[in-house]
Amino acid sequence: MPKLLIVSREAEAYRQLIEQANLPSLEMATDPAECDIVLGEPRSIRALLPRLSRLKWIQSIYAGVEYLVEPGHRRDYILTNARGVFGDLMSEYVFGYLLAHEKKIFERFRSQQARYWDRAESGLLRGKTLGLLGVGSIGSHVARTAKHFNMKVWGFTCASEDSQDVDVYFHPPELLKFAGGLDYLVCVLPRTEGTNRIVNADLLDALPPHAVLINVGRGNAVDDSALMQALTQGKLAAAVLDVTDPEPLPAEHPFWTTPNLFLTFHTSAKSYAEDITKIFIENYYLYLAGKPLKYQVDFERGY
């Protein structure tokens, strides 16, 4: 009889949704020592790892599982993350900020406050080139939205190349060539050893000065000092960061006041319990049947 532990700020919502699904044989439990399945937030689950003596499977409600895969923690179980549910949310966020930039939404508001009939021309997404740093399930969705807006899409990737909406793929030796042709750079990379400070001074120098950077992946990908320098020196038009390192950002961090830097607060894509529960249910049936689960994380690769 599989026993499930839910470790989440939204545990009650998950419990109700899972109970409504009447999953065969599943029992809810609260003692970590007797549970073989855990559903929840990676950081909170990590604290329980030593006590999960019967652990077989963890279903993360987030895409990012860095708290569970970093070295030093046990790997004697199957870890699955949440995929396929954040793409449309991330697209809404990314295109919200890209369109705000092109339509000069802040500038128009300042004109309004000055009672100035501001006939300045707006920019267009149409015809511009969006570059994806990371082309997994989220990147592919962002690519699809870019195509809806008649944009060109370039993808920089180490692995997957299966998005129909990416016009040109680039690979690790071509990072600066990739950056040189972009109007927008959207980073959707997970936190791994390999992604540390990939957005560094060289990459920022390679971007055209009218380019905009959006980071919805993880904060480790950005070299903070290099970014502040690029923005201050006008080497980059703007940056939008939903993720920082650390989070929350300390009150004294210079990002709060860096010119043309727009902060959001890891709020670009929420894990909706309805979405995640569907993944859990599908995986639970696979688990019961002894079949491979969906969205398994490779501990070595880190995602």
Residues linked to residue 214 through DSSP beta bridges, in sequence order: 186, 240
Nearer CB in complex with a copy of itself: 31/115 = 115
Pick 219 or 302: Cβ nearer a copy of itself: 219
Contact 5, 35 (CB under 8 A): yes
Residue 117: both structure tokens together = 């009939």
Compute the least distance from the CB of residue 28 to a copy of itself, in Å.
Answer: 26
Does position 233 interact with a copy of itself (CB under 8 A)? The reply is: no
Coil/strand/helix, residue 28 = strand
Tell me the two tokens of residue 118. 């501001």
- Residues 237-266, interacting with a copy of itself (CB under 8 A): 247-249, 251, 256, 262-266
The token duo for 232 is: 């201050």
CB of residue 264 to a copy of itself, shortest distance in Å:
5
Query: Is residue 84 within the footprint of a copy of itself (CB under 8 A)?
Result: no
Residues 86-105 that bind a copy of itself (CB under 8 A): 88-89, 91-93, 95-97, 99-100, 102-103, 105
**Helix-helix angle 11-20:273-288, to 10 degrees:** 50
Gap between the Cα atoms of 55 and 241, Å rounded: 36
User: Of 106 and 285, which CB lies nearer to a copy of itself in the complex structure?
Assistant: 106
Q: Using CA atoms, how far apart are residues 47 and 63, in angstroms rounded to an integer?
A: 18
Q: Outline where 21-86 has alpha helix (H).
A: 42-48, 66-69
Nearer to a copy of itself, 36 or 102 (CB): 102
Instruction: Return residues touching a copy of itself (CB under 8 A).
Output: 88-89, 91-93, 95-97, 99-100, 102-103, 105-106, 108-109, 111-113, 115, 117-122, 124-126, 145, 148-150, 247-249, 251, 256, 262-268, 270
